[in-house]
Chain A
């Protein structure tokens, strides 16, 4: 009998532990994120997509703008996955490269700006929670995540130009380097 009781209470304990975790997240994380999300959503709605598209046209010219500045701005303003749609302003050849950079930008900036990719926030939050548990601030981590991300995402985007050339050769096709005028 004792054994069964012990088993049952052990079983219930799993859910109590889970519930405690859930409540601590809901009360500790959700309020701040909701406030941030509201402000960011409002700013984005007030600025509008058209301005981003204007910036996009200017930024296709050189690698730094293309893989560092533009993906950052479009991730911030449009979030995941609409930030990827900005690739339409690139020549075909650069679209995969922009994609490679922009998708990473939808993660590395998530520490400071959770609105960018709220549904995949736990990549950041999961690890950041551990840091919080130690009583440390997550802000320095978030800032470095963003800064390292800027450099690393640029490298990832640029490197994709080389892998794209490689795959072009493999598949025997050549993608257009020029932007099609519509």
Chain B
């Protein structure tokens, strides 16, 4: 058969997982797609063209697992998206679905990638895919051969080239619905993994502080500091002292606790509500000072830039922190 090439697949907008590198071999030389009741997924043609894999329609026939180099699915996040990752077969989901369903624990970045269209597929050696214009012609040829040759293609479903209006609408609506469903899943996940634990932790803290009488002690420290603009400026400057700022940063936990305590004092009437605005800035002048190397790494900065950037951002936090508090103070008049 054709010569095989490796491809690299990254996740698309709202997707999860990847990048996957898929390397076909003599033995693993098939790509199975189990999508849209047998309709061909949009990314398939490009994958077939680049890799030389043989496409198999999972709705029509089956294929021994040992021969599969790749599976393409359009699972909305219930079952299919977990099956193949569980068997450790590289899986592409055309829907923007992350870890979900009863087999969520098997869906990992090294075996699963979602929200994939042909744009996310490229040759693994970094070479760009052939220009888009010349593809369609070739694709049709290969498809023609494949479908007439080795499959008892049922007339309606496999005629992907001319999808009926109903199919197009159906697929479109499905995508929107699935996107929202995934958005909801992500939102609930965020609540469970970050919001609720923090609420629990801070609630306990507040319970102890208020119930034990520590609250009054805290108030006597916090009120003079957070209860007037001079104190807030000092708080802002202290939080942003280079070095200290990096220690205060992680997870913003300290700032969040201080925020909650200041909020409690506002609620009790010990601190005027319009000071909430400058307080928001004062407790967070150190913002992200602990994260500079990682953040610059995300921006693909060079080592030199990171070395300079870590110091530079800490300096600028220190230099501008108090300005931010004063600005907020100036803007807080007439707030409440």
Interface residues of A (CB under 8 A from B): 10, 13-22, 25-26, 29-30, 33-34, 37-42, 44-50, 81-82, 84-88, 90, 92-93, 95-100, 102-104, 106-108, 115, 118-134, 136, 140-141, 144-145, 147-148, 151-152, 155-156, 159-160, 162-164, 166-168, 170-171, 173, 175
For chain B, give the interface size range.
35 or more
Shortest CB-to-CB span from A15 to chain B, Å, is 6
Query: Chain A contact residues: over half helix, strand or loop, or mixed?
Result: helix
Q: Is B281 an interface residue (CB 8 A)?
A: yes
A6 to B194, CA, bound (A): 36
Contacting residue for B299 out of A48, A99, A144, CB 8 A? A99
Contacting residue for A152 out of B264, B271, B295, B327, CB 8 A? B327
Q: Which residues of chain B (5-42) have a CB below 8 Å from chain A?
A: 12-14
Q: Is B169 an interface residue (CB 8 A)?
A: no
| Cβ B194 vs Cβ A25 within 8 A | no
Complex: chain B residue closest to A14, CB-CB:
B211
Q: Known: A18-B208, A126-B262. Is A99-B313 also a contact (CB below 8 A)?
A: yes
Interface residues of B (CB under 8 A from A): 12-14, 96, 115, 119, 176, 179-180, 182-184, 186-188, 190-191, 194-196, 198-200, 202-208, 210-212, 251-252, 255-269, 271, 273, 276-277, 279-281, 283-284, 287-288, 291-292, 294-296, 298-302, 304-305, 307-309, 311-313, 315-317, 319-320, 323-324, 327-328, 331-332, 335-336
Q: Known: A100-B313, A119-B190, A166-B312. Is A127-B263 also a contact (CB below 8 A)?
A: yes
| Cβ A155 vs Cβ B323 within 8 A | yes
Contacts of A166 in B (CB 8 A): 312, 315
Contacts of A122 in B (CB 8 A): 198, 202, 252, 256-257, 259-260
Contacts of A167 in B (CB 8 A): 308, 311-312, 315
The residue among B202, B284, B287 with the most chain A CB atoms within 10 A of its own CB is B287
Shortest CB-to-CB span from A112 to chain B, Å, is 13
| Cβ B267 vs Cβ A133 within 8 A | yes
Q: Known: A33-B195, A39-B183. Is A48-B12 also a contact (CB below 8 A)?
A: yes
Shortest CB-to-CB span from A130 to chain B, Å, is 3
Shortest CB-to-CB span from B247 to chain A, Å, is 16
Contacting residue for B204 out of A18, A115, A125, CB 8 A? A18
Query: Chain B contact residues: over half helix, strand or loop, or mixed?
Result: helix
A128 to B194, CA, bound (A): 19
| Cβ A25 vs Cβ B203 within 8 A | yes
Shortest CB-to-CB span from B126 to chain A, Å, is 11
Contacts of B331 in A (CB 8 A): 144, 147-148
A38 to B177, CA, bound (A): 12
| Cβ B13 vs Cβ A148 within 8 A | no
Shortest CB-to-CB span from B317 to chain A, Å, is 7
Contacting residue for A48 out of B14, B210, B257, B288, CB 8 A? B14
| Cβ B309 vs Cβ A99 within 8 A | yes
Contacting residue for B308 out of A140, A152, A155, A173, CB 8 A? A173
| Cβ A123 vs Cβ B283 within 8 A | yes
Q: Known: A46-B176, A166-B312. Is A17-B207 also a contact (CB below 8 A)?
A: yes
Contacting residue for A156 out of B190, B207, B267, B320, CB 8 A? B320
| Cβ A19 vs Cβ B316 within 8 A | no
Shortest CB-to-CB span from A136 to chain B, Å, is 6
| Cβ A144 vs Cβ B277 within 8 A | yes
Contacts of B294 in A (CB 8 A): 81
14 A-B pairs whose Cβ atoms sit less than 8 Å apart in the complex: A14-B212, A38-B180, A40-B183, A45-B13, A45-B183, A46-B14, A84-B296, A120-B252, A125-B263, A134-B273, A152-B327, A163-B319, A167-B311, A168-B308
Contacting residue for B312 out of A37, A50, A96, A119, CB 8 A? A96
